């Protein structure tokens, strides 16, 4: 078992922190502000040496419970003050059980599910000795060229805030130190997703109006949910690196939001303040980061090497070091590390292999998938089919289904799409497999370099053609073909930006060749961002977006393909027709001539400026009707609440899920307001013919925005449009007004 069964009082924590601080030397304090990589990055001293000398307060990437105990024993028994280590790790979407990637979880539009997923992830990580996860990642992303879109909750601040709250609750439980829970760390503060060109780590230029209304709300939601730590971002924001940015770290995080946890830099981001050309040298970098509000140094040891000197030179008061150490020690005390520094290794194995965790991963993968097309109701398929071809470079790949940030997962446990289909169908059905094409990055992933993994040798031209022809002939000999296409797990995530959204490699040529056989084709996508489906959207009857679905992905996809579950997910991002449309997002301003005006069909002359699929879009195996939109009041004063209700009916012949989405538009104000903004959603399950009345409340939280004219949050007298429907193009409409 772990920490206390109730939250420690602030006074008790403060007393214990102060008592410790009084005993600590300046070097021991800077040691507590130092986090060191256990893997991937070589160190000049062994962990034992560092820990014994009090030079490390935290390690990251120690994932073996026995190793955690070994290093903790050095800290607790051999260091001078016996302060335990805080073990951190990227538990982003699972630990040993890998769940769908965060973008997929966002596509479930089910915060309860998201909280349950992160509760299980925390339980597994905690059992292994991890007490701190570097999640949730809440960066708003509106540029799918950016590889890290996969790690967040998409483009919308309302959906992103709901995801942030749910994840913090899931990881931390009701309080920091809750049994079998871990400290959460909301990241990357802030504006990382707006990188120029979608190029990872590149500069972000975000005006205040977008910072406050779009990029900051999910972070604020995490802080309001009690997140215990924050991670600063790599890039510079409006020319000031986030890791040395007083506006972010002091004005916003501590002054405006009252955050009282601690801030850790991203990996080497303190040292890299010199890379930015912001800090003169590493000592200056340490000075800038500490004085801006970074408490802990991840990976660089810049604090270890420079802070004591800066104090002795009189450039930094020791009280500033104490202020950084306090929240770190407070976290260790709240987590119960002093009372319970060790884990039970045998119990860890039981928890890491709990079958109920794998079963829940299957449920999560089912609820995260989005049905993009189902022409002629091709899906769900019959299990009485005589023969089936399963084709594609991702059809029988285990590692790819885990997605990025799955280092503690076991790829050998992953159920592939091919295996899931074979598990599903009776023995007499012929299920043939062909890989069809190879896909690979042009430049290797940085994680390969860090793990000394060299790419497999490229196939010869003859091998390429042979496997392509084999795939087409396998399709020709079958009654139906399931193509499993998309991106390798290293084609999304960190250091995985792209200039195009094309299906990598020869996948589209393979898709066209299989469609040309005349057999019915189902396309299953394994990917971490919208891809260019312009051709498939016209020629492939059924398209299921499965994202990176995790350990049980193959079984979940087979459940959906054969109707043992119905897809009910919705897109958390706008799906472009082409990379040329980027940035493209639904909550845009009208500015000039809307595309709806007759003489102005598009802002481009070569493509519509509308997306291929809108934000919030997703089909089902049944149909739903929205009706009877009612507002209890049509006129409210600022600060008053508005109650809205709507009926949703399942008009089809199968049970299914719908996500009712509520959007508003403020028609005038001290600033132009987006044509639509999500301000409410509810996912419901309805039996055939069943009708439900849903209720939504709108109040100051939903009706205010940060005004660039007023330079503050306002709720203004104005007329509003309101829509409720199945996606961001909802047509069921009403109006209301905020009156003076």
Catalytic residue IDs: 266
Alpha-carbon distance of 423 to 417, in angstroms, equals: 10
Query: Nearest distance from residue 58's CB to ligand GLC, in Å?
Result: 11
Determine how many CB atoms are found less than 10 A away from the CB of residue 499: 10
Query: Nearest distance from residue 363's CB to ligand GLC, in Å?
Result: 27
Nearer to ligand GLC, 222 or 482 (CB): 222
Query: Nearest distance from residue 445's CB to ligand GLC, in Å?
Result: 13
SS3 at position 713: strand
Query: Nearest distance from residue 24's CB to ligand GLC, in Å?
Result: 26
Nearer to ligand GLC, 227 or 267 (CB): 267
Query: Nearest distance from residue 267's CB to ligand GLC, in Å?
Result: 4
Query: Nearest distance from residue 494's CB to ligand GLC, in Å?
Result: 6
Determine how many CB atoms are found less than 10 A away from the CB of residue 647: 17
> How far, in whole angstroms, is CA 73 from its chain's centroid?
34
Nearer to ligand GLC, 51 or 267 (CB): 267
* Residue list 567-626, contact with ligand GLC (CB under 6 A): none
Is 187 a binding residue for ligand GLC by CB under 6 A? The answer is yes
Is 90 a binding residue for ligand GLC by CB under 6 A? The answer is yes
Mask of contacts with ligand GLC, 471-510, x by CB under 6 A?
-----------------------x----------------
Alpha-carbon distance of 422 to 270, in angstroms, equals: 50
Neighbour-count burial of 429, counting CB atoms closer than 10 A to its CB (0-12 exposed, 13-18 middle, 19+ buried) = middle
Q: CB nearest ligand GLC: which residue?
A: 134
Q: Would you mind telling me the total number of residues written for the chain in this entry? A: 740
**Could you tell me what percentage of the chain is helix, strand and coil, using 3-state DSSP and rounding each to the nearest 5?**
35, 20, 45
Positive or negative torsion for Cα 362, 347, 13, 244: negative
Is 267 a binding residue for ligand GLC by CB under 6 A? The answer is yes
Number of residues that bind ligand GLC (CB under 6 A): 7
Q: Do the beta carbons of residue 736 and residue 696 sit within 8 Å? A: no
The Cα angle at residue 522 between residues 150 and 367, in degrees rounded to 5: 45
Residues 6+ apart with CB under 8 A from 684: 648, 657, 658, 659, 660, 692, 694
Query: Nearest distance from residue 648's CB to ligand GLC, in Å?
Result: 38
Alpha-carbon distance of 269 to 300, in angstroms, equals: 8
Nearer to ligand GLC, 386 or 450 (CB): 450
Determine how many CB atoms are found less than 10 A away from the CB of residue 529: 27
Report the first-to-last Cα separation within the chain, whole angstroms.
Answer: 56
Nearer to ligand GLC, 94 or 611 (CB): 94
User: For residue 472, which phi and psi values (nearest 5 degrees)?
Assistant: -65, -40
Is 219 a binding residue for ligand GLC by CB under 6 A? The answer is no
- Write down the H helix ranges in 53-101: 65-78
Which of 36, 61, 63, 41 shows the shortest CA–CA distance to 51?
Answer: 36
Beta bridge partners, 736, equal 720
Nearer to ligand GLC, 227 or 556 (CB): 227
Query: Nearest distance from residue 164's CB to ligand GLC, in Å?
Result: 15
Whether cis (ω within 30° of 0) applies to the bond prior to 188 is yes
Is 532 a binding residue for ligand GLC by CB under 6 A? The answer is no
Tokens, residue 278: 């912001």
Is 134 a binding residue for ligand GLC by CB under 6 A? The answer is yes
Residue corresponding to tokens 């060790």:
342
Mask of contacts with ligand GLC, 652-681, x by CB under 6 A?
------------------------------
Is 332 a binding residue for ligand GLC by CB under 6 A? The answer is no
Nearer to ligand GLC, 259 or 447 (CB): 447
Is 683 a binding residue for ligand GLC by CB under 6 A? The answer is no
Alpha-carbon distance of 235 to 225, in angstroms, equals: 26
Which of 143, 156, 266, 282 touches ligand GLC (CB under 6 A)? 266
Is 139 a binding residue for ligand GLC by CB under 6 A? The answer is no
Positive or negative torsion for Cα 198, 201, 207, 213: positive
Mask of contacts with ligand GLC, 47-66, x by CB under 6 A?
-------------x------
Beta bridge partners, 386, equal none
- Strands 236-237 and 705-707, by their bridges, are unpaired
Residues 6+ apart with CB under 8 A from 10: none
Query: Nearest distance from residue 226's CB to ligand GLC, in Å?
Result: 20
Query: Nearest distance from residue 134's CB to ligand GLC, in Å?
Result: 3
**Binding stretches for ligand GLC (CB under 6 A):** 60, 90, 134, 187, 266-267, 494
């Amino acid at each position: 078992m772990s920490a206390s069964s109730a939250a420690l009082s602030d006074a008790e924590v403060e007393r214990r922190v102060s008592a410790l601080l009084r005993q600590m030397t300046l070097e021991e304090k800077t040691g507590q502000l130092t986090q060191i990589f256990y893997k991937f990055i070589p160190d000049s001293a062994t962990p034992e040496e560092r820990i014994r000398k009090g030079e490390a307060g935290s390690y990251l990437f120690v994932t073996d419970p026995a190793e955690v105990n070994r290093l903790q024993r050095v800290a607790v028994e051999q260091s001078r003050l016996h302060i335990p280590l805080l073990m951190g790790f990227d538990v982003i979407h699972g630990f040993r059980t890998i769940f769908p990637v965060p973008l997929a979880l966002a596509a479930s539009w089910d915060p309860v599910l998201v909280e349950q997923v992160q509760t299980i992830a925390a339980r597994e990580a905690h059992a292994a000795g991890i007490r701190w996860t570097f999640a949730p990642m809440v960066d708003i992303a509106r540029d799918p060229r950016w590889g890290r879109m996969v790690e967040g909750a998409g483009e919308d601040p309302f959906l992103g805030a709901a995801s942030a709250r749910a994840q913090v609750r899931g990881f931390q439980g009701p309080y920091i130190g809750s049994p079998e829970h871990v400290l959460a760390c909301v990241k990357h503060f802030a504006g990382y997703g707006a990188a120029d060109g979608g190029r990872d780590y590149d500069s972000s230029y975000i005006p205040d109006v977008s910072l406050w209304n779009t990029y900051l709300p999910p972070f604020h939601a995490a802080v309001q949910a009690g997140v215990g730590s924050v991670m600063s971002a790599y890039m510079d924001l409006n020319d000031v690196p986030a890791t040395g940015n007083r506006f972010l770290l002091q004005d916003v995080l501590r002054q405006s939001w009252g955050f009282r946890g601690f801030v850790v830099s991203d990996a080497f981001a303190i040292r890299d303040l010199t890379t930015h050309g912001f800090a003169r040298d590493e000592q200056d970098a340490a000075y800038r980061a500490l004085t801006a509000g970074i408490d802990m140094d991840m990976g660089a040891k810049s604090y270890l090497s420079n802070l004591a000197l800066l104090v002795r030179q009189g450039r930094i008061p020791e009280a500033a070091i104490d202020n950084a150490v306090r929240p770190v020690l407070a976290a260790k005390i709240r987590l119960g590390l002093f009372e319970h520094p060790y884990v039970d290794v045998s119990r860890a194995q039981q928890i890491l292999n709990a079958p109920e965790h794998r079963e829940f991963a299957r449920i999560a993968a089912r609820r995260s998938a989005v049905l993009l097309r189902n022409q002629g109701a091709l899906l769900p398929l019959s299990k009485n089919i005589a023969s089936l071809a399963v084709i594609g470079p991702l059809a029988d790949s285990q590692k790819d289904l885990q997605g990025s940030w799955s280092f503690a997962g076991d790829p050998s446990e992953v159920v592939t799409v091919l295996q899931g289909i074979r598990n599903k169908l009776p023995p007499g059905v012929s299920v043939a497999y062909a890989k069809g094409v190879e896909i690979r990055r042009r430049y290797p992933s940085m994680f390969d370099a860090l793990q000394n993994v060299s790419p497999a040798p490229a196939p010869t031209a003859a091998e390429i053609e042979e496997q392509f022809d084999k795939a087409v002939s396998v399709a020709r000999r079958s009654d139906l073909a399931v193509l499993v296409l998309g991106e390798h797990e290293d084609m999304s995530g960190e250091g995985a930006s792209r200039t195009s959204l094309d299906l990598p490699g020869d996948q589209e040529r393979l898709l066209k060749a299989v469609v040309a056989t005349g057999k019915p084709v189902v396309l299953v996508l394994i990917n971490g961002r919208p891809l260019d489906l312009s051709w498939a959207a016209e020629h492939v009857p059924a398209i299921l977006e499965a994202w990176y679905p995790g350990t049980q992905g193959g079984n979940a996809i087979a459940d959906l393909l054969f109707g043992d579950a119905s897809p009910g997910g919705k897109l958390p991002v706008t799906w472009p027709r082409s990379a040329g449309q980027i940035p493209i997002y639904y909550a845009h301003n009208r500015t000039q001539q809307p595309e709806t005006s007759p003489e102005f069909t598009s802002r481009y002359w070569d493509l519509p400026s509308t997306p291929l699929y809108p934000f919030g879009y997703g089909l089902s195996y049944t149909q739903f009707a929205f009706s009877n939109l009612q507002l209890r009041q049509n006129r409210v004063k600022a600060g008053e609440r508005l109650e809205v209700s709507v009926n949703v009916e399942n008009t089809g012949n199968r049970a299914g899920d719908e996500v009712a989405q509520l959007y508003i538009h403020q028609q005038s104000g001290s600033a132009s307001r987006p044509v639509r903004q999500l301000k409410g959603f509810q996912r419901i399950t309805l039996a055939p013919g069943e009708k439900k009345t849903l209720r939504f409340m709108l109040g100051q939280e939903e009706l205010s925005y940060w005004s660039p004219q007023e330079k503050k949050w306002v709720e203004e007298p104005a007329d509003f449009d309101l829509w409720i429907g199945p996606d961001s193009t909802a047509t069921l409409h009403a109006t209301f007004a905020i009156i003076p």
